Amino acid sequence: MRILGIDPGTRITGYGLIEKVGNRLLHVDNGAIYTHADAPLSDRLKTIYDGLCRVITEHAPASMAVERIFVAKNALSALKLGHARGVAMLAGVNADLPVAEYTALEVKKAVVGYGKAAKPQVQQMVRVLLNLPEIAQEDASDALAVAICHAHCYQFGLMTGSGRSF
């Protein structure tokens, strides 16, 4: 099963694709979609949507997992991040993908075994689990972690998400 993980952001949206084959997790691709900080929010959201649509078309994942954000330092940032999450989810739903959501705590627990693990620990574990030659770019590494979390949760029937069946 091919899984697309998303780490949403209005400046940088990370994506990571993995393939679950039996008990093995294989790296397929990862990267980031960059937007122009001075562009209107609507243009940035279109860039994210179009970029994710290209990734979905190119790699044909079977499902998508998006990081669920529940804490933000300021309301405006949270609102903008919510827009980016919505656009990412829309790209998945429009491609008929089941979309699941996981909190950072759930992702860290699934990847490292400890929900309060530091970011470098998560990045290193992603590198090890996927046998990468080096740690991926930060947003892409976070997206790969979300995909790994989904692979583990799917395996054990622990999915959270948008209410769509898997």
Catalytic residues: 7, 67, 139
Q: Which among 14, 18, 35 is positioned nearest to 26, based on CA atoms?
A: 18
Q: Which among 159, 137, 156 is positioned nearest to 66, based on CA atoms?
A: 159
Beta bridge partners of 102: 67
Q: Do residues 28 and 59 lie in contact, with contact meaning Cβ atoms separated by under 8 Å?
A: yes
Q: Which residues contact 50 (CB under 8 A, 6 or more apart)?
A: none
Instruction: Write down how long the chain is.
Output: 166
